[in-house]
Amino acid sequence: MSRPTLFALQVLVAVVCIVLWQVLSTVPVFGKILLPPFFFSNPLDVFSQIVKWFVSGVIWKHLGITLAESILAFVIGSLGGVLVGFWFARQPLVAAVFDPYVKMVNALPRVVLAPIFALWLGLGIWSKVALGVTLVFFIVFFNVYQGVKEVSRTVLDNGRMLGMSERQLMQHVYWPSALSWMFSSLHTSVGFAVVGAVVGEYLGSAAGLGYLIQQAEGVFDVAGVFAGMFVLSAFVILIDYGVTLVERRLLVWRPTASDGRG
């Protein structure tokens, strides 16, 4: 299928959904409105709410804060994940000792940590960053750990036979291998950084997209809730697109799925 056709079809899905929503929430069917405005609002109201946010400029502050929290969570979580992942992979004893604890903490639903972080770090951005970090860290950690452990035996032996020292093996073999695993999880970890930020804001904050949605919910402003969700989705899609661009640059050496060699 050509790209324009595909794009047209994708747009068509959105148009059909929005038109259905608008019609069902405003035009009575057999004397009854199927989507009562109190629960479902309608696309026009939601759209005008979004326009209002952007025209008045209030949204930028909230977007900026959510973006800052996501980036900080991603950077700190990734850094920690890479360092600890490397450490554990190179020191099997350490990995074995900490294994049950890592599993325990990872099994914990991070939402329950939000109040604790709010208590420790206050209602500012750092409690949200902390929540994001706990999510991002484990994804990156597991991937880097795997990446270092699963370096091909032959490639390692080849490095040794070519005369690489331990440090050179690190630089030319372990590191690129771990990075490739980390980048393969880039979409997930960036997504989770945003989730951490928004959930944290939702549970207690004074700014950010999560805060905006939570405020609208508090006054039963359904249009505001939907508007917040749409802005959030668009925000995540933009970030994801950015990630794709970065990935394409960094992983040129990897066969793509379409090569049939995965």
User: What is the spatial distance between Cα 164 and Cα 191, in angstroms, rounded to a whole number?
Assistant: 37
- For the CB of residue 248, give the shortest distance to other proteins in the complex, in Å: 14
- For the CB of residue 250, give the shortest distance to other proteins in the complex, in Å: 10
CB 185 within 8 A of CB 140: yes
Cβ-based nearer residue to other proteins, 173 or 223? 173
Cβ-based nearer residue to other proteins, 2 or 154? 154
Binding site for other proteins (CB under 8 A): 152, 154-155, 157-164, 168, 172-173, 176-177, 180, 252-255, 259, 261
Cβ-based nearer residue to other proteins, 38 or 253? 253
CB-facing half-sphere around the CA of 171: CA atoms within 13 A: 5
Instruction: Report the sign of the C-alpha dihedral through residues 16, 19, 22, 26, in that order.
Output: negative
Q: How far is CA 127 from CA 58, 70, 183, 206, 212, in A?
A: 22, 12, 26, 12, 17
* Structure token digits, residue 169: 């093996």
Cβ-based nearer residue to other proteins, 144 or 173? 173
* Structure token digits, residue 61: 């502050």
Cβ-based nearer residue to other proteins, 90 or 172? 172
Cβ-based nearer residue to other proteins, 172 or 187? 172
CB 123 within 8 A of CB 206: yes
- For the CB of residue 217, give the shortest distance to other proteins in the complex, in Å: 47
User: What is the spatial distance between Cα 147 and Cα 174, in angstroms, rounded to a whole number?
Assistant: 8
- For the CB of residue 83, give the shortest distance to other proteins in the complex, in Å: 21
Q: Which residues pair with 162 in a beta bridge?
A: none
Helix orientation angle between 186-203 and 125-149, rounded to the nearest 10 degrees: 160
- For the CB of residue 3, give the shortest distance to other proteins in the complex, in Å: 24
- For the CB of residue 261, give the shortest distance to other proteins in the complex, in Å: 7
Residue with tokens 């991002």: 136
